[in-house]
Amino acid sequence: MILLCAFTFDSSAQRKRKRTATSQGNWVLRVGAGFNTNSSTDELTGFENSSNTFSFNPTLSYMVIDNLEIGANVGVANTSSRNESSATARIEDEGTDFTFGLFAQKYFPLNNWFAFYTSANIGLLTGSGETSNINGSTTSTSGYVNNGVQGGLNFGFGFTPYNAFALYSDFTGLTISNTKRNPDGNTLPTVSNTSAGFNIARNPINIGIAWYFGRGLWRR
């Protein structure tokens, strides 16, 4: 009986010690942000084209089994661009898109601190923006509305310096999206765009933090 009690106690202690942030039953609150900038200059004319995108992506998920979480995500992305066609003419565009979707993320632990992961997501997109056509002192402005669906498969690494806190970053991904831009008024046609490929329609720089909530994770 003494040996049986000791074995039971030791097995229970081992299970507690082996419980990690990605164990079944934990909740995960994640906050991610991304920034992407592109610019180019025509050396012959000196005209510049540039774009900047900032994104913010919080998620809430649940570990359905060890190392697999399923949850919901929302996101907001603001994009501004500037394209020069002459010394006095340019097109400026600024818009904000909102996304809502579901995702699943699978962890592949490398050791106690690092893990490789892959995540799949699908969701809806909606947003609006404004395009300004500037020619000298004359500016014409038109608004538009975006709607569409998108999905993807991303890959990244996570670092867990504490058992309930982690840093993570996507390093590449496959994205598929279909969006429609509906201009205000009837003077311009609706534009439909479909894209698929690595690092298309996504931010290559995406860094975030995650908090894991579960039994015993915050105990010292």
220 assigned to some structural domain: no
Q: What is the 3-state secondary structure (H, E, C) of the chain?
A: CHHHHHHHHHHHHHHHHHCCCCCCCCEEEEEEEEEEEEEEECCCCCCEEEEEEEEEEEEEEEEEECCEEEEEEEEEEEEEEEEECCCCEEEEEEEEEEEEEEEEEEEEECCCCEEEEEEEEEEEEEEEEEEEEEECCEEEEEEEEEEEEEEEEEEEEEEEEECCEEEEEEEEEEEEEEEEEEECCCCCCCEEEEEEEECCCCCCCEEEEEEEECCCCCCC
Which pLDDT value is given to residue 158?
Answer: 92
27 assigned to some structural domain: no
> What's the pLDDT band for 170 if we cut at 50, 70, 90?
confident
Among 184, 82, 57, smallest CA distance to 128 is for: 184
> What's the pLDDT band for 18 if we cut at 50, 70, 90?
low
Which pLDDT value is given to residue 186?
Answer: 53
161 assigned to some structural domain: yes
124 assigned to some structural domain: yes
Which pLDDT value is given to residue 3?
Answer: 39
- % of the chain surpassing 90 pLDDT: 37
5 assigned to some structural domain: no
Can you give the CATH number for the domain in which 170 is found? 2.40.160
6 assigned to some structural domain: no
- The domain total for the chain is 1
- % of the chain surpassing 70 pLDDT: 81
Higher pLDDT, 174 or 18: 174
81 assigned to some structural domain: yes
pLDDT surpasses 70 at 48: yes
Domain that holds residue 158: 32-213
First to last CA, the chain: 32
Residue range 72-84, pLDDT digits in tens: 999 999 999 999 8
207 assigned to some structural domain: yes
Residue range 86-120, pLDDT digits in tens: 888 999 999 999 999 999 999 999 988 899 999 99
Q: What is the mean pLDDT of the chain?
A: 82
Residue range 1-16, pLDDT digits in tens: 433 443 443 444 444 4
Which pLDDT value is given to residue 114?
Answer: 92
